[in-house]
């Protein structure tokens, strides 16, 4: 295995040379969120085998690994080399070396997308209203609709009173039926800023006759201003009428021409798939409900609003080709227009449908866990009932907190040895995780004798066994960056800090100098 050391200035130059590049940060997400390179993708070593091949599918992609030191890099490189990845390098000296070279580091997550939202507001002068003005408008009885551009689960958690859930990519497709009168004021909101700005500007770019504004600072700003948001609401968009669909398609055609969005056919997609020299992502940008009902074979669901909001979670290789699939075209064209402005050159739209259901299985690096180390849920339950087992759960900490095997301890796979030193062992060591795969990999690699629960916590639940929410933490929950409203303490302070962080991104990306954001023509 050849692992090439690269100095910070060399890595920065690679970001500008126009060739494909995967810049991978191997630290846990919370550590990553404190300080990282702008274009780095967070793929923690603890979940490398589960996530890497989906984000970086082409085996000869240029890959630069980074972290706090050499240990993570060396361990990851061995896994990747064994899986067939051939062009492996690392940032010599890690994050500290980048800072010592006088280069910019960023806190937070999904930073390129969040910075892009701020760029769009600045470049387009996207109009907005504050929570106090919105409250006055609501009390005045003005003809107005509020559309929430987040996914449905986020909308259900907290929403602005009277809002309708219309996730970002659906806005242009649905707005004609939601606000048929051009006199209706349209207010777009999200939790913070990015999806409000991009959603409002999507409608403006599409040429809606209505006045459109973003809710400044979203539900967080609304809450901080002392207003009471709703919770548990289910009001959603409906299917577009024939007139609404016709208007949306005409609007998408105008947007596509303005931003140079190219449509392709099946033959072109087949040629892309046959081109081994380029990375290809095929995303279905429709809402998850549409995707679940039937989709184009092999397409990954990446709802357009979320693809723009968190591009780094879907596309791990910078400079790759992206094909967006949408049977009605509108969502794909609008999403493509934003990706192109973000600096993704090769973005294409394929108007297509399909009957495939279910999600494609995530590719796993390496071999499946050793079958002989597996144990079934009923046998684990019997051991637990007799206090003859110590269960350690390697699931992501939010999943663990939501529900786990009674008595199970939380730990992070790459820190398991340290966690086991803190746990009072009682009987056989049983490892589990969401579906058991990660636990099986861990059982095969640790020195302590261990078995893993076949099918993981999903199998435990399917067998009808109870779950517990009583947390037993053998490790810090470093695997997850909690959103401001998820913080256990000082939620108000966290929301204020987050909103200030977003606004501050513009001068920081200017100092960094590696973005290729464009101004709309």
Average pLDDT on 302-317 reads: 98
Q: Is the confidence at residue 2, as pLDDT, over 90?
A: no
Share of the chain above pLDDT 70, in %: 100
Q: Model confidence over 368-390: pLDDT tens digits?
A: 899 999 999 999 999 999 999 99
Cα distance between residue 95 and residue 31, in whole Å: 11
Q: Which residues of 259-271 are buried (b: 16+ CB within 10 A; e: fewer)?
A: bebeebeeeebee
Q: Model confidence over 19-33: pLDDT tens digits?
A: 999 999 999 999 999
Average pLDDT on 259-265 reads: 98
Q: Is the confidence at residue 157, as pLDDT, over 80?
A: yes
Q: Which of 231, 226, 230 has the alpha carbon at shortest distance from 132?
A: 226
pLDDT for the residue 71: 87
**pLDDT tier, 521 (very low <50, low <70, confident <90, very high otherwise):** confident
240-245: long-range pairs with CB below 8 Å, 24+: 240/173, 240/174, 240/176, 240/177, 241/176, 241/177, 243/176, 244/173, 244/174, 244/176, 244/177, 245/173, 245/328
pLDDT for the residue 76: 97
Residue 356 vs residues 297, 301, 415: alpha-carbon distances, Å: 6, 12, 39
pLDDT for the residue 489: 82
Sheet containing strand 22-25, edge to edge, reads 3-6, 88-91, 63-66, 22-25, 41-42
Q: Is the confidence at residue 1, as pLDDT, over 80?
A: no
Please state, as a whole number, how many other Cβ atoms lie within 10 Å of the Cβ of residue 487: 14
Structural domains of the chain ordered from first start: 3-108 (3.40.250.10), 115-252 (3.40.250.10), 254-350 (3.40.250.10), 372-462 (3.40.250.10)
pLDDT for the residue 483: 93
The rounded Cα 23 to chain-centroid distance in angstroms is 16
pLDDT for the residue 385: 95
Q: Is the confidence at residue 338, as pLDDT, over 90?
A: yes
Q: Model confidence over 495-509: pLDDT tens digits?
A: 999 999 999 999 999
**pLDDT tier, 401 (very low <50, low <70, confident <90, very high otherwise):** very high
pLDDT for the residue 46: 98
CB proximity list for 361: less than 8 A, separation 6 or greater: none
Average pLDDT on 169-180 reads: 98
Phi, psi of 315 (to 5 degrees): -120, 105
Q: Where are the alpha helices (DSSP H) in 343-455?
A: 377-385, 397-402, 416-420, 437-445
Q: What is the mean pLDDT of the chain?
A: 97
pLDDT for the residue 195: 98
Q: Model confidence over 352-373: pLDDT tens digits?
A: 999 999 888 889 998 889 999 9
**pLDDT tier, 176 (very low <50, low <70, confident <90, very high otherwise):** very high
Q: Model confidence over 414-469: pLDDT tens digits?
A: 999 999 999 999 999 999 999 999 999 999 999 889 999 999 999 999 999 999 99
Question: DSSP string covering 446-479, please?
Answer: -SS--EEETTHHHHHHHTT---B----BSS--TT
pLDDT for the residue 490: 83
Cα distance between residue 166 and residue 155, in whole Å: 9
**pLDDT tier, 488 (very low <50, low <70, confident <90, very high otherwise):** confident
Q: Is the confidence at residue 519, as pLDDT, over 90?
A: no
Cα distance between residue 148 and residue 320, in whole Å: 31
Given CA atoms 215, 216, 222, 223 in this order, what sign does their dihedral have?
positive
Residue 124, judged by CB atoms within 10 A of its CB (0-12, 13-18, 19+), counts as middle
**pLDDT tier, 319 (very low <50, low <70, confident <90, very high otherwise):** very high
Cα distance between residue 459 and residue 376, in whole Å: 8
Q: Is the confidence at residue 240, as pLDDT, over 80?
A: yes
pLDDT for the residue 170: 98
pLDDT for the residue 352: 96
Q: Model confidence over 210-227: pLDDT tens digits?
A: 999 999 999 999 999 999
**pLDDT tier, 69 (very low <50, low <70, confident <90, very high otherwise):** confident
Contact between 491 and 191 (Cβ < 8 Å): no
Share of the chain above pLDDT 90, in %: 95
Contact between 349 and 261 (Cβ < 8 Å): yes
């Amino acid at each position: 295995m050849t692992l090439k050391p690269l100095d910070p200035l060399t890595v920065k130059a690679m970001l500008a040379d126009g060739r494909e590049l995967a810049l991978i940060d191997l630290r846990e997400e919370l550590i990553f969120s404190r300080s990282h390179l702008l274009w780095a993708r967070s793929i923690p070593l603890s979940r490398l085998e589960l996530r890497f091949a989906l984000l970086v599918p082409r085996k000869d992609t240029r890959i630069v690994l980074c972290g706090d030191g050499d240990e993570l890099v060396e361990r990851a490189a061995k896994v990747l080399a064994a899986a067939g990845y051939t062009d492996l390098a690392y940032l010599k000296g890690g994050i500290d070396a980048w800072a010592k070279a006088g280069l910019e580091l960023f806190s937070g997550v999904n930073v390129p997308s969040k910075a892009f939202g701020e760029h769009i507001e600045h470049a387009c002068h996207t109009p907005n209203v504050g929570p106090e003005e919105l409250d006055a408008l609501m009390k005045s009885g003005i003809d107005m609709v509020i559309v929430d551009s987040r996914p449905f689960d986020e909308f259900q958690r907290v929403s602005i009173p009277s809002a309708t859930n219309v996730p970002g990519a659906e806005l242009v497709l649905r707005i004609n039926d939601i606000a048929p009168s051009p006199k209706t004021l349209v207010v777009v909101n999200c939790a913070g800023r990015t999806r409000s700005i991009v959603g409002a500007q999507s409608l403006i770019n599409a040429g809606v006759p209505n006045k459109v504004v973003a809710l400044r600072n979203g539900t967080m700003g609304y809450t901080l201003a002392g207003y009471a948001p709703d919770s548990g609401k289910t009001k959603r968009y409906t299917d577009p009428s024939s007139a609404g669909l016709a208007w949306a398609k005409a609007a998408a055609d105008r947007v596509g021409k303005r931003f140079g969005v190219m449509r392709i056919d099946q033959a072109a997609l087949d040629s892309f798939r046959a081109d081994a020299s380029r990375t290809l992502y095929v995303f279905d940008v429709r809402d998850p409900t549409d995707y679940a009902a039937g989709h184009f074979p092999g397409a990954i669901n990446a709802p357009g609003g979320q693809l723009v909001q968190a591009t780094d979670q879907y596309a791990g290789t910078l400079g790759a080709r992206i094909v967006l699939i949408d049977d009605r075209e509108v969502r794909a064209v609008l999403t493509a227009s934003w990706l192109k402005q973000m600096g993704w050159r090769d973005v294409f739209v394929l108007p297509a449908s399909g009957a495939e259901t279910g999600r494609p299985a995530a590719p796993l690096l390496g071999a499946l866990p050793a079958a002989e180390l597996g144990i079934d849920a009923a046998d684990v339950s019997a051991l637990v009932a007799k206090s003859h087992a110590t269960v350690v759960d390697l699931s992501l900490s939010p999943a663990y907190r939501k529900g786990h095997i009674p008595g199970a301890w939380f730990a992070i796979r790459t820190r398991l040895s340290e966690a086991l030193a803190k746990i009072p062992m009682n009987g056989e060591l049983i490892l589990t995780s969401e579906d058991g795969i990660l636990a099986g990999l861990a059982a095969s690699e640790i020195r302590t004798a261990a078995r893993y629960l076949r099918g993981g916590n999903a199998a435990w639940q399917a067998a009808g066994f109870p779950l517990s929410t009583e947390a037993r933490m053998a490790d810090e929950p470093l695997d997850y960056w909690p959103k401001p409203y998820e913080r256990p303490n000082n939620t108000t302070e966290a929301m204020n800090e987050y909103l200030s962080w977003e606004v501050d991104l513009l001068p920081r990306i200017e100092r960094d100098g590696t973005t290729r954001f464009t101004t709309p023509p």
